[in-house]
Amino acid sequence: MLAVISQHWLMPVLAYENGQLSTGNALASPGWWIVTWLTQVMPMVFFAGGAANFFSFRSVKSVREWLRSRIARLLVPVVPLTAVWLFLPHLLIGGGVPRQPVLMAGKIAGQLLWFLAVYVLVVAVTPVMYALYRRYGWRVIGVLAICALVVDVLRFEVSPAIGFLNALFVWLAAHQFGFHYADGGLNMRSGWTSAGLAVAGFGLTAAAVFFGPYPASMIGMPGAPVSNMSPPTALMVSLTIGQLGLWLALKPAMTRFAGRPGVAAALQWCGTRFMTLYLWHMPALVVTAGILVVGLGFATPAPGSPMWFAVIPVWVGVAGVSLMCFTRVFGRFEIRRGSARGSDTSLGKVVLAAVLAAGGLLGLAAQGFISAGDSLGNSLGPVLWVLLVLAGLLIVREKNARESLVVQSSRTVVAQGPRTAPTRVAVRGEGAPALAAARTAGAARVAGGDPSS
C-alpha cells in the first residue's frame, strides 16, 4: 500500500496557468517504464488479499456471515468519502474556484475505486475459489491464465471492450497465488529457488513485451493505445510470478525488518486503516496540488532533474500531513466494528449486495464525483452510483430487529445478574435452557418497561 501511495504521489507532472491545470506522468520519461515492473504492486495487493482470505475462511462456520463481515469492512470506509465528494466540488465551484481543476479533482477522487469494485467481487467468489483450490490446486491458476490469454486475443482482434473480462481472470489468478502461499505451497527451499522463479516470471514478461503486442509500462501511459492495467492484460499474471519470486527471495530480510518494534507498530497501525489510506491518499494529493500548484503557482520540475529530487520531500511532506489528517478524521469508520449477529440476510442477498456495490463503485471510478456537464444542481449520475453502493452496504449490515432486541436483553440480564434470583439462575445455568431463560427474563423486563433495561 505504501508503494501504491508513493507511486501515485510522485507520478504527476503539473502546471497551472490561466485557470487550466495541465497534467503529465513522470514515469512516461524515456526508460522509466522499467520502474513500473516493481512499483506496480496491484498483483501483490490481490495476492495478499488471497492469503488473508484463506487464513480467515478456512475455519469459518458460516459462509454468509463471513461474506457479510468482509464486504461490510470494505464498504464502510467509502461512506465518508462519498459524503464529502458529492458536495465538495459544487461548493468549490460555487465559491469561485476555477472549474477545470475542480472537475479534475472530482475525477481523481473516484478513479481508484475500480480496485475496490473488483476486490468486492473477488471476495464474493472466494468461497467458490476456495472449493476449486481444494479440489484442483494449481490447475485453477493455469485455467485462469489461459482464460486471460484468450481474452487478450479477442481484445486485440475483435473488440477492446472484451478485455474487461480480465479484471476478474487476472486478479483471481493473483488472489489464488495467495491461497497457495497461505497453505504452504510457496515455501521455497532456498533463496536461489525464489530467485529462479523471479527470473522466470520477469523473463516471460519481457518476452511478451518485446515480441508481443504489450506495452513495456505496467501502468497506463497518456496517449498509449494499449494499457496493461486498464483493463489488465495476461501480462499481469507473469508479472505476479516475477514479483512473487523477488519478494520470496527477500522474505528473510523483510521479516527481520518488519519485526522491529517501531516498524511492527507502524505496520499494525496501517493494517487497521488499510482502506482509509487507499481511499484518501488521492484526495491528499488533490490538497497538495491545490496548495502548491494552483495556489502558489508551483510547476513540477523536469522528472529526474536535481530540482525534481530536491522538491520531492516538500511535496511528499505536504501530501503526508494531509493524509494523516484525513486518516485521523475518517479512519474511525474503518476501525469501528459492527456486530454480525442476529442477521437474517440470506446468502443470495449478500451476493446481490456485492454486485450492487461493485456496480456503483465502477460507475464512480469511470465518471468521478462530478462530470463536465454537471451544474451545481445536477449531479444525478454520481448520486445514483453512490446509492447503489449504499444499497449494497445496507444489505450486508441488515439485522433482524427482533433478534437484536433479544440478544441485547440477554446481555442486560447477564450484566445485572445479582439483582434477582431468576437472573442468577439464567446466568449460572448451562446450555440452551439457561440461555432461553435469560432471554425470556430479559424480554419480559423490557416489555414491562423496566428502565434499567
28 against 415, higher pLDDT: 28
Report the C-alpha gap between 414 and 8 in whole angstroms: 51
DSSP of 148-183, one letter per residue? HHHHHHHHHHT-GGGGGGHHHHHHHHHHHHHHHHHT
Question: What's the pLDDT band for 196 if we cut at 50, 70, 90?
Answer: very high
Q: What is the DSSP string of 286-350?
A: HHHHIIIIIIT---PPPTTSHHHHHHHHHHHHHHHHHHHHHHHHHHHHHH-----TT----HHHH
Comparison of pLDDT for 348 and 419, the residue scoring more: 348
Stronger pLDDT, 347 or 177, i.e. the higher one: 177
Q: Is the pLDDT of residue 415 over 80?
A: no
Does residue 231 have a pLDDT over 70? Answer: yes
What is the residue whose three cell numbers read 505476479?
240
Is the model's pLDDT at 117 over the cut of 70? yes
Please give the average per-residue pLDDT across 303-325, as a whole number. Answer: 95
Burial grade of 434 (CB within 10 A; 0-12, 13-18, 19 or more): middle
Question: 266-275, 381-390, 402-411: lowest mean pLDDT where?
Answer: 402-411
CB 2 within 8 A of CB 274: no
Mean pLDDT for 263-278 is 89
More confident position, 376 or 127: 127
Average pLDDT over residues 90-103: 89
Q: Residue 29's pLDDT is what?
A: 87
Give residue 372's pLDDT band: very low, low, confident or very high (50, 70, 90): low
pTM of the model: 0.83
With bands split at pLDDT 50, 70 and 90, how would you rate the model's confidence at 453? very low
Q: How many CB atoms lie within 10 A of CB 229?
A: 19
- Contact by Cβ (8 Å): 49, 116: no
User: Which one, of 66, 56, 54, lies nearest residue 351 by Cα?
Assistant: 66
| pLDDT confidence bin for 192, thresholds 50/70/90 | confident
Instruction: Share the mean pLDDT of the chain.
Output: 84
